[in-house]
A and B are shown apart, each in its own frame.
Chain A
């Protein structure tokens, strides 16, 4: 077995990106994701890569846009307020149909908010953030190991579908340390015939652009893009099920809250309550089918979130509101204890919604 190393979640993202063949990082520091930039600053010069601290978040996302247009594996990372600044670039990248990996290690909001962990950028990540009709593939790691493995997968998905993958983490997973392993695998290389690599006067020049002067062409582009999105919704949803076999109550939680929820589920099971957990790993595409199937078996859902209730809307949509969906939440950087989740489970067990 490969060696176990002890890493912070943020470092794991950076190291995984390097192992995935990313040699270009453009960013701007912000707590609680600064270790990604710090790690890149130390490592990239030693391996012939580029670490560049841009003058702003807006500059850094546009550097990603440019480097990606040139066919390179490229990334940026930030935390909530910084992602808002990158929103324009995210929309342009989507409109140009080119790949990028963007990391959001979320903190409390809105506005400058605070530096403690949060999941309140769920809407921003899964429903847009920038303008126009577009999607990003959104991956939600729940461990330091997943910070690494989903980063590598994120690059592959971005290249495969030529679009942005966002790693939606939170401050705690970014800062916490766990032992992890990297598999010795060569990065997958995707053909990018559209890339701006120089024609050498041997082919027609490529254009990477999001501007369409004719509305019918722009409409056609949008329809084509959404055919691709439908394909992704069909093929790429990922989730984990925990103690769901005979569950009568289903807790839904992603990222850091899924760990707290797991402890609560384990406690509730000791008390004889039949409860399980569905953890979405992809937030877009949302694991709709597994939740729809669960809605026929369980009597209630509990959405556990570090927000005022964002994912809960997707849970209601996925389950077609067949069963009650309650919210167990904290916000602003506060974190629920396993006991708070446990009491939400006990309430649901008693039919109190």
Chain B
């Protein structure tokens, strides 16, 4: 299996992942944080998701800690407390400029409100990348028009404009090389309509090796207890 060496990445101090819920933000944020750590950076990942009750950054706690990555997560994540809380430690992201921060923002405009608190500080520092995660196989972002609607709602809610696109078009475990290649035209159309460059295409690592023609961030995905026997 060919691994992560597909592209040399230029990193910003802060990388923010936002998008429609279910677009893959959390997986991408975790994998990107690991990539930064593997490059020797001091990394802190923050779960600013105030929307999702399940499947949070905290699920990857062990892996993150194995890579020496600090996790900032609501103490209520994965508990029975249904409280949209932002952890106080989140201020480290904007105050401690010695760290590389990766931020997982909750889905849609509702989730993006949480980022608004930090928007002014992030923009004042100016060393950030705000990535719009898209998946054309999600029902509410299957057309360019619908995708732009979600994008504008998120930007309005958090007060930060996107700076690039991450194409995470996939159909779960059925994703193939063709799924990704077929989605490039959609990603390019979103890029054209928004004027934003495509920063990355993300794909599960078992097929990332077959896609050397694209800027790829390979993803390691967690096995879930409810996956069916193969």
Interface residues of A (CB under 8 A from B): 4-8, 11, 15, 31-32, 35, 38-39, 42, 108, 113-117, 171-172, 175-179, 256, 259-260, 262-263, 266, 332-333, 335, 337-338
Contact = CB atoms under 8 A, between A and B. Distances in A.
Contact of B139 (A15, A108, A113, A259): A15
Nearest to B224: A176
Which residue, of A6, A108, A171, A262, has the highest number of chain B Cβ atoms within 10 A? A6
A30 to B, nearest CB: 9
A60 B227 CA distance: 35
B80 A337 contact: no
What's the dominant secondary structure at chain A's contact region? Answer: mixed
A263 B53 CA distance: 25
B54 A179 contact: no
Contacts of B226: 172, 176, 256, 259-260
B80 A178 contact: no
Nearest to B76: A115
A171 B21 contact: no
A77 to B, nearest CB: 15
A147 B139 CA distance: 15
Interface in B212-230: 224-229
Contacts of A332: 80
Contacts of A32: 53-54
Given A5-B142, A335-B225, 19 more contacts: A4-B174, A7-B22, A8-B21, A8-B22, A15-B139, A31-B53, A32-B54, A39-B140, A42-B140, A108-B80, A116-B80, A172-B54, A172-B226, A175-B53, A179-B172, A260-B225, A263-B229, A266-B229, A337-B225
Nearest to A177: B22
B217 to A, nearest CB: 19
A263 B137 contact: no
A6 B229 contact: no
B38 interface: no
Contacts of B79: 114
Interface in B106-142: 108, 135, 137-140, 142
Nearest to B80: A114
A266 B173 CA distance: 20
B91 interface: no
A262 B138 contact: no
Contacts of B192: none
Nearest to B108: A38
22 contacts: A4-B171, A5-B137, A5-B142, A5-B171, A6-B22, A8-B22, A15-B139, A42-B140, A108-B80, A116-B53, A172-B226, A175-B52, A175-B55, A177-B22, A179-B171, A179-B172, A256-B226, A259-B227, A263-B227, A263-B228, A335-B225, A338-B225
Contacts, number: 80
Contacts of A172: 54, 226
B171 A115 contact: no
A5 B53 contact: no
B221 to A, nearest CB: 11
B57 interface: no
Contacts of B21: 8, 35
A5 B137 CA distance: 5
B82 interface: yes
Nearest to A42: B140
A179 B108 CA distance: 21
Nearest to A11: B139
A31 B229 contact: no
B170 interface: yes
Contacts of B108: 38
Interface in B32-82: 52-55, 79-82
Contacts of B82: 31, 115
B222 to A, nearest CB: 12
Contacts of A179: 137, 171-174
A5 to B, nearest CB: 5
Nearest to B226: A259
A171 B54 contact: yes
A304 to B, nearest CB: 13
Nearest to A267: B229
A16 to B, nearest CB: 11
Given A171-B54, A172-B54, A266-B229, A6 B80 contact: no
B228 A259 contact: yes
Given A31-B82, A266-B229, A6 B53 contact: no
A116 to B, nearest CB: 6
A6 B225 contact: no
Those 5 A-B pairs whose CB atoms lie nearest each other, nearest first: A114-B80, A266-B229, A179-B171, A175-B54, A6-B137
